[in-house]
Chain A
Amino acid sequence: NAGVTQTPKFQVLKTGQSMTLQCAQDMNHNSMYWYRQDPGMGLRLIYYSASEGTTDKGEVPNGYNVSRLNKREFSLRLESAAPSQTSVYFCASSVWVGSNNEQFFGPGTRLTVL
């Protein structure tokens, strides 16, 4: 099993450009998450999808949109990139059964917005 995969690994954008970060998991997990991690900081939740067909805002949703394409895939879109969105983006998934919500993380996408 590949676990959680993310593409691309690295991306450089110019201000105003758009892009979509892809995430897929092969563990049959119900819930998926997008985080950003800025230098020296913990993870901040951008959006999450508790189950297929639902998405909700996290702590820092402005400037982002998401799509839960199916149970496996959850994409994050930047419509008009800004330098403040320079960060490392992590996708995660979890089984949502009671309070057993251990999360499994992808390797991350390093995004630089010039």
Chain B
Amino acid sequence: SQQGEEDPQALSIQEGENATMNCSYKTSINNLQWYRQNSGRGLVHLILIRSNEREKHSGRLRVTLDTSKKSSSLLITASRAADTASYFCATAPLMDSSYKLIFGSGTRLLVRP
């Protein structure tokens, strides 16, 4: 079963606008990660936020984590056409010592030029 669920499932915005995607999960976690997948390609790691962190930045990416609500958000600022991709959250469950990840079903982002 999926641990993380992204919302919305699909998002279409104009170039230059901000894109916000949300992820909810069910069990306590060690960390939460966001990945990007361009069409027909493998996933690429974007950012990792640990359970004791509330916010993290990387370039135009901002990730927040609310462990009390078991949710995270990914904000992409000043979006570009090249940001068009699917975005997945992945969680490392706290009680799993193997640190394997459980992926959500993803948000498909379309950035219109």
Spell out A's residues near B (CB within 8 Å).
Answer: 4, 31, 33, 35, 40-45, 48, 50, 56, 58-59, 90, 92, 94, 96, 99-108
Chain B interface residue count, Cβ-Cβ cutoff 8 angstroms: 26
**Whole-angstrom distance between the Cβ of B72 and the nearest chain A Cβ:** 15
**Is B98's CB within 8 Å of the partner chain A?**
yes
Instruction: Give min CB distance, B22 to chain A, whole Å.
Output: 15
Q: Do the beta carbons of A42 and B106 come within 8 Å of each other?
A: yes
B100 touches A58 (CB 8 A): yes
Name the one of A33, A99, A103 contacting B45, with C-beta atoms under 8 angstroms: A103
Whether A99 contacts B42 by the Cβ 8 Å rule is no
Residue of B nearest to A45 (CB): B100
Contact B44 A99 (CB under 8 A): no
With A42-B2, A42-B88 as known contacts, state yes or no: A101 contacts B44, CB within 8 Å.
no
Q: Roughly how many angstroms separate A101 CA and B102 CA in the complex, as a whole number?
A: 12
Instruction: Report the Cα distance A90→B40, complex, angstroms.
Output: 11
What A residues does B48 contact at CB under 8 A? 100, 102
Residues A107 and B41 in contact, CB atoms below 8 Å apart = yes
